[in-house]
Amino acid sequence: MRNLLTVLLLVTGTAHAGDFEVCINGVNLQGRPCAGFGSTLGGMRHQQIVAVGYDAMEIILHSERMASGIDGAGRSHFVGPYRGNRLTKLRGQTFSCNVSLDARQFRCVSWLPD
């Protein structure tokens, strides 16, 4: 217990020192946007986007295919940049998508830049 308390005190003391800030999904522990959060991509940091259901179907149907195939378990896979008009903020983002064997589950994950 004493070691845990020491670590917690160290973390809270360090969190207020200099430019160090603990952020989760662009929000600091006080619920405010992280400092420097608007420095890239027109106010947004690069973050991985996960789409499921109808949004994933939209991405699959309106993507330019770079690759596609079916794995050994029967899942369909698609890779390519989104070119549709419904999700305008995602246009041009490259996604890896998969569809379940029974075509009831759809999931797409965006690529992060290097």
The predicted structure's pLDDT at residue 113: 78
The half-sphere exposure of 77 on its side-chain side, counting CA atoms within 13 A, is: 11
User: Confidence band (pLDDT; 50, 70, 90) for 25?
Assistant: low
Domain ranges of the chain: 1-45, 50-110
Query: Which residue(s) pair with 79 in the sheet?
Result: 67, 96
Give the mean pLDDT of 8-31: 56
The predicted structure's pLDDT at residue 33: 76
| pLDDT tens profile 40-56 | 444 556 788 999 999 99
The predicted structure's pLDDT at residue 68: 97
Torsions phi, psi of 42, nearest 5? 60, 45
